[in-house]
Amino acid sequence: MKFGMGQAIPRWEDPRLITGGGRYTDDHAAPNMARAYFLRSPHAHARIRKIDVKPALEMPGVLAAYTGKDAAALGNLPCRVVEMFPLKRMDGSPVFHPPRKCIVEHTAKHVGDIVAMVVAETVNQAKDAAEAIEIDYEELPSVTDPAAAAKTGAPKVWAECPDNVAYVQRLGDAAAVDAAFAKAAHTVSYEWRNTRVSQHWMEPRAALGVYDPHDDRYTLISGTQGAHDTRNFIAQNILRIADNRLRVISPDMGGGFGGRSNSYPEMALVLWAAKKLGRPVKWNQERGEAFLADDQGRDTWNKVELALDAEGIFLGLRVRTVATVGAYMSVFGPWPSFANAGGLAGVYRTPAIFTEVLGTVTNTPTIGPYRG
C-alpha cells in the first residue's frame, strides 16, 4: 500500500536545504531598507531617571532613535494563557499579569529589557549610535531565584505584586493524597532544581517590517511557529489594527523548539518604525543578544513525595513546584509550569495525585514553551 499506519514518510525538504536553497529571514530584503538595533538594560532592575537620545541622532546615518515615551501609544504584549486558564493568586484574586511594553519607559525589569531603538542606514551605524545614548539609571534591588522571590522580605519586582507570587495552580485531590500518606508503610521524597535553559536556533531571531501607505497595510517577515497567532497578537494587542491589515510571512527558520511560538517586541517595533519612517526596517539578532531577549525554559524548584504500601505499591504522589515566569509573561507565560501535570505519574498506576505550582515573578527574561 502507498500509505499506512506507522509507515515512514520520505523527507522532501532536505535537497533544497543542504544545497543552499534555504531562504531564511536574513535572506529577505526590501528596497530602501533601514536597519534597527535595540539598546538593552545592563541592570536586572533599574529605574530610568533620564534618557537622552540626541547624541545618537547626531551620529552618521541615523534616521531615528526611539524611547519608551515615543512608543507609549503601542499596546502591551499579550499573554494568551491568562485568558485560557482561570489562574488565581494565593488570596483568590485574579492572576497578576504584569504589563509588558515594547520599549521600557520608566523601569527596566531584567538584563536585556529594551530601553531604546535606533534605526540607521546600516547596522554598524545603528550600533554606534546606540552607544552614544545617555542614560541615568538608578539601580534597584533584584531577585532572580524563583523560590527566593516568594520569601518574606524579597525585593519586589512589581509594586503591584508585593509577594512576587503571580499565581498558584493546584490540581488533583489533596485530601486523597493526605490520606494515602497517612496509611503509607513507606514514603520517599526528593528535591531538585530544574535549571534555566536558553534555546537557540541556527538563525537567531530576525524581523523585516514593511508598511504600504497606499493600502494602509503591514507585512512582517519573521520565522515563527504560528504565523496566524503572531498576526493576531501583534495586530490586536500592540498595533491595535484589524487582523487583515497585517500579513505575516514565516520563511525557513532553522528550528523552533517552542520559543518561536511567542510574539516578541522587536516584531512589532520594526513594523511601527517602518510606518513612521516611510521605509522598510530590518533587525537581525546577535547571538549573544539571544541570551537576554528570547523566551527561556524551565527554572523551577521541585519537591516530589511518594507514598507506598508495605509491598511497594504506589498509594499517592504529591508534587510541589516553585516556578518563575520571569519579569513578564510571554504569550504562553505560566503554561509550561503546569503543562506536565497530566504526565506526572508516567506509566505507573497511582491512585491519588496532587500538585501545587507557585508561579513567581523575578528579574529575569521571560519563560516560555521549550521542547521536552
Give residue-wise pLDDT tens across range 221-257: 999 999 999 999 999 999 999 999 999 999 999 889 9
What is the β-pairing status of strands 62-67 and 114-120?
antiparallel
Per-residue model confidence (pLDDT) at position 348: 96
Per-residue model confidence (pLDDT) at position 6: 86
- Does position 299 have pLDDT exceeding 60, yes or no? yes
Q: How far is CA 261 from CA 213, 227, 332, in A?
A: 29, 9, 8
CA separation for the pair 354, 334 (Å, rounded): 18
What mean pLDDT comes out for the span 151-160?
A: 98
Q: 297: alpha, beta or left, given left = phi > 0 and alpha = psi -120 to 50?
A: beta
Residue 347 CB neighbour total at 10 angstroms: 5
E strand intervals along the chain: 34-40, 46-52, 62-67, 107-108, 114-120, 134-139, 165-172, 186-194, 197-198, 206-212, 217-221, 246-249, 281-284, 296-297, 300-308, 314-326, 352-361
User: What's at 51, amino acid-wise?
Assistant: I
Query: What's the pTM value of the predicted model, to 2 decimals?
Result: 0.95
- Does position 261 have pLDDT exceeding 70, yes or no? yes
CA separation for the pair 78, 90 (Å, rounded): 23
Cβ–Cβ < 8 Å for 207, 266? yes
Query: Exposure of 52 by Cβ count < 10 A (0-12 exposed, 13-18 middle, 19+ buried)?
Result: middle
Q: Read off the DSSP letter of residue 355.
A: E
Per-residue model confidence (pLDDT) at position 4: 80
Per-residue model confidence (pLDDT) at position 11: 86
Cβ–Cβ < 8 Å for 161, 98? yes
User: What's at 248, amino acid-wise?
Assistant: V
CA separation for the pair 185, 195 (Å, rounded): 33
**Of 285, 266, 293, which Cα lies nearest the Cα of 365?**
293
Per-residue model confidence (pLDDT) at position 307: 98
Cβ–Cβ < 8 Å for 211, 315? no
Per-residue model confidence (pLDDT) at position 1: 56
Cβ neighbours of residue 213 closer than 8 Å, sequence gap 6 or more: 275, 278
Per-residue model confidence (pLDDT) at position 10: 83
CA separation for the pair 67, 35 (Å, rounded): 17
Q: How far is CA 171 from CA 17, 87, 181, 338, 355, in A?
A: 45, 12, 17, 9, 5
CA separation for the pair 288, 200 (Å, rounded): 10
**Separation of first and last alpha carbons in the chain:** 34
What mean pLDDT comes out for the span 279-283?
A: 98
**Of 263, 182, 281, which Cα lies nearest the Cα of 227?**
263
pLDDT, the chain, mean: 96
CA separation for the pair 155, 142 (Å, rounded): 6
pLDDT digits (tens, 9 = 90+) for 57-112: 999 999 999 999 999 999 999 999 998 889 999 999 999 999 999 999 999 999 99
| Percent of the chain scoring above 70 in pLDDT | 99
- Does position 332 have pLDDT exceeding 80, yes or no? yes
Per-residue model confidence (pLDDT) at position 372: 67
CA separation for the pair 159, 280 (Å, rounded): 39
Lookup: cell for 3 = 500509505
Q: Quick one: pLDDT band at residue 7, thresholds 50, 70, 90? A: confident
